[in-house]
Amino acid sequence: MIKAHVQIPDELYKRAKALAEAKEWSLAEVFRRGLEYMTSVSCVEAMGERWELPVLSAEQFSDEFDELDLRDLVEEDSMRRD
Please indicate, yes or no, whether residues 13 and 37 belong to a single structural domain of this protein. Answer: yes
Q: Confirm whether pTM is higher than 0.75.
A: no
Please indicate, yes or no, whether residues 64 and 36 belong to a single structural domain of this protein. Answer: no
Please indicate, yes or no, whether residues 12 and 37 belong to a single structural domain of this protein. Answer: yes
Provide the domain count of the chain. 2
| Structural domain boundaries, residue 27 | 8-41
Looking at residue 38, its pLDDT comes to 85
Name 8's Cβ contacts closer than 8 Å, sequence gap at least 6: 16
Domain presence at residue 58? yes
Please indicate, yes or no, whether residues 78 and 57 belong to a single structural domain of this protein. Answer: yes
Please indicate, yes or no, whether residues 60 and 32 belong to a single structural domain of this protein. Answer: no
Residue type at 34?
Answer: G
For the stretch 41-79, pLDDT in tens is 775 555 566 767 777 777 766 666 566 677 777 777 766
Q: Indicate the DSSP class of residue 17.
A: H
Helix (H) or strand (E) holding 15: helix 10-23
Domain presence at residue 25? yes
